[in-house]
A and B are shown apart, each in its own frame.
Chain A
Amino acid sequence: MLQHSDDPDTFRANISSWIEAHCAPELRAIPRTDQQICWGGKRFEFSSAAQKAWMQAAAETGLSAPRWPIEYGGAGLSRQQEKVYREELARLNAPTPLESFGLWMLGPALLEFGTHEQKLHYLPQITRGEIRWCQGYSEPGAGSDLASVQTRAEDRGDHWVVNGSKIWTSYADQADWIFALVRTDREAPKHRGISFMLIDMTAEGVSTKPIRLISGASPFCETFFDNVVVPKEDPAGLSRIVGELNRGWDVAKHLLTHEREMIGGGAQGLLGTRSLGAFLQDLDDQVLADPVLRTRAMELEVDSLATAMTLDRYKDMAKQGGVGHASAMLKYAGTELNKRRYELLMSVTGSDGLDWDGAHGALPSEWLRTKANSIEGGTSEVMLDILSKRVLDLPSQ
């Protein structure tokens, strides 16, 4: 059992030996591929017994959601302790035991807007990896203009009937439940008639269709709702609406902030925990002899380091009272940087990096995938709009 010591050094030592005890050496090999991510959920197939054991150990300790309160299945760590935990994971090359949209998005929304009963019911299912959630936001007619979602939920007394379709629903075909923005008042102004609804993906009338992307992968789906019945209350008396009815836009905005920070944080992909420098050193000497490539690598490194510092600074600011709309900066800067990083990786690997599955793993897929970074969760242009209007207070007329 993990000891939550207040002394940072003791905590680090404890967490480190806990990781070593529960995360099998086979899980700590790099490079790691997307297939090795543990998503949890009823349909998830563990890549190994070790992966399952690692997730379960984390769930028992609450470390699948380090900062969530213990009563809701988390570990109740402080921000500082969480940082130490993440540092030790990275140092030991241990994968995050569980990743999911429940942890990243629904959980934070419930913690902010949910009732105590909703939290008690839904959050531990997430931390234990039992239920995998997906996010139903965008629609064919509501991309950047998200508030014009048309999927509607009609009030039929003790239940809703949902009709419409969602698009870019990440991993909808593997999810157990969806949290979706649905229109519950068609007369109200567009931001005031949306509710944040929880829907069982196994309900009659829900169907999904994967979308094949330029990267060859199909992480996104179309999700269709055809007369789907959603009870207003579970048998346990829990509401399927998070926050107030018709005020789902508030929840969505809050969540988008989380999503933006997450995307802005940027997955390291191919590099893993390796620095760009270490990666470059493993390449042919000729590569860095090219002054243009060398210059690009140097510029990227300067900007990467400064952006990482900014992420830290904003996390601290968020803790001390919030960053508001300025979080759009993290999303914009982080995703544009990640695209640059992958353009550089493609350039420095040359023809070796052109195979779908070759000397540099699935580099082309990762490279192509980064192109979505500056679109999903609000395009770069939408981020610049938000910053101009909300932060710089530039006029609309």
Chain B
Amino acid sequence: MTASLVPSGDEVMLRDSARAFLAEASPVSALRANRDAGRPYDPGLWSEMVKMGWAGVLVPEEAGGADMGHRAAGILAEEMGEVLAASPFLSSAVIAATALRAAGSARLAEIAGGATYALALDETSKFAPERSGLQATRAGNGYRLTGRKCFVADGGSADRLLVLARTAGAPGEPQGLTLFDLDASRAGISRSPRATVDSRDHANIDLDGVEATGEDVLGEADNAMAVLAPALRAGQAGLSAELLGLTSGAFGMTAAYLRERRQFGRTIGSFQALQHRAAHLWCEIEVTASAVANAGRVLDETPEEADLAVSVAKARATQTAKLAVSEGVQMHGGIGMTDEFDMGFYMKRARVGAEWLGDYGYHAARVAAARGF
């Protein structure tokens, strides 16, 4: 039995304080400034988030974290999405923190302290962890990693990398994969930043005979999924929340514009053709909000059963964000197409979020599998 999807008093307070902080510290104009300066995120903003305990939202208290759970992490991600705040939050505080926690790693405290991580997983243009083929071959007492990872979120700037590599078996098999926790500056690692449409940090990472030891293995060798699967669920739920926030931000701008823009001598929001589209979009957002809240709740209560809830959330959040930004541009008319106006930033981030950690098809197929077809 899942707790109510209606937010608790504490959750409302968390949301309000996050919203107030971000409105001041990271309005959408901050993303624009980052982009214009060629800076993927603002380290100053991240330090503020660390000070507020956001980096340790999923880190146990004994490791210096706040241990507030996935629903709380989702609320923070949602608020960041609302204003498109760029930060290593999902990669470090959500994905890496969950992986390190599942593995019982001593480095968890570093995450609470603001150390940044990136998950190096994809090798092709579509998310498919078990198809990973990057080789980690046995060499003496350790391993030697060679191969290329692509579309590594926060990979250009992260202090450390979680690299998924194959130590046994063949691509396509979930067994035989090992997750390595490596310093990003280790010899043999080279990072190529990519200029992705959302102006955030994404990189391709080449590993050329990178040496690793058993100490670098997170969890057990050949059994990465034991620590990776919970981390992916957490990341997918967090990203769904970010997409929901983004959706709500784009919709808020659109609804406000419908109330003020005048054409043909009347407010365009008085046209039923636009009213019904706006109302339909609002309904879609409400349904997606339930799925996102539910994913956080299930992760907090019965994480091992969360696959279905997480995939419903990611699938819904992806589609709803796409609808919200498309309608956002269309209803704004010409100004929606200009760089000067913010809607484009929402559209671009929605597209990147749609691909990261599994697209609609990936998650819809997981829902179908969980539901018996």
Q: Which residues of A contact B (CB under 8 A)?
A: 275-278, 280-281, 288, 294-295, 297-299, 301-303, 305-307, 309-310, 312-313, 316-317, 320, 326, 329, 332-333, 381, 383-385, 387-389, 391-397
Interface majority SS on B: helix, strand, loop or mixed? helix
Given A277-B373, A298-B365, A395-B269, A303 and B287 contact (CB-CB distance below 8 Å): yes
Is the C-beta of B105 less than 8 angstroms from some C-beta in chain A?
Answer: no
- Inter-chain contact A387/B255, CB cutoff 8 Å: no
Set A301, A306, A317, A387: member contacting B291, Cβ < 8 A: A306
Report the separation of the CA atoms of residues A279 and B371 in the bound assembly, to the nearest whole angstrom: 11
CA distance A189 to B315 in the complex (A): 48
B255 touches A394 (CB 8 A): yes
Residue of A whose beta carbon sits closest to that of B314: A302
In contact, A313 and B293 (Cβ under 8 angstroms): yes
CB contacts under 8 Å to A, within B201-236, are none
Alpha-carbon separation in the docked complex, A298 to B369 (Å): 9
Main secondary structure on chain A at its contact with chain B?
helix
Asked if A310 contacts B373 (CB within 8 A), the reply is no
For B373, the chain A residues whose CB sits under 8 A away are: 276-277, 280-281, 288, 294, 297
Taking a contact as CB atoms closer than 8 A, the residue among B266, B272, B286, B316 that contacts A302 in the complex is: B316
Question: Which residue numbers of B lie inside 8 Å of A, CB to CB?
Answer: 4-6, 255, 258-259, 266-267, 269-270, 272, 274-276, 278-280, 282-283, 286-291, 293-294, 308, 312-313, 315-316, 363-365, 367-368, 371-373
**Inter-chain contacts of B280 with A (CB < 8 A):** 332, 384
Interface contact B6-A317, CB-CB below 8 Å:
yes
- Tell me how many residue pairs across A and B have CB atoms closer than 8 Å: 127
- Docked-complex contact B367 and A278, CB < 8 angstroms: no
A391 to B280, CA, bound (A): 12
Assuming A384-B279, A393-B259, what are 18 further A-B pairs, CB within 8 angstroms? A280-B372, A294-B373, A297-B368, A301-B368, A302-B316, A303-B287, A306-B313, A310-B287, A310-B289, A312-B5, A313-B293, A329-B282, A387-B279, A387-B283, A388-B278, A392-B255, A394-B278, A397-B270
When chains A and B are docked, how far (Å) is the Cα of A57 from the Cα of B272? 51
Determine the chain B residues whose CB is within 8 A of the CB of A276 once the complex forms: 371, 373
> How far does the Cβ of B269 sit from chain A's closest Cβ, in whole Å?
4
**Bound-complex Cα distance A280 to B312 (A):** 19
Bound: A333/B287 CA distance, A: 8
Chain B residue nearest to A83 (CB atoms) is B1
The answer on a CB contact under 8 Å between A277 and B365 is no
A313 to B286, CA, bound (A): 10
Q: Which residues of B contact A306 (CB under 8 A)?
A: 287-288, 290-291, 312-313, 316
Give the distance to chain A from B219, nearest Cβ to Cβ, in Å: 31
CB–CB A305/B312 < 8 A = yes
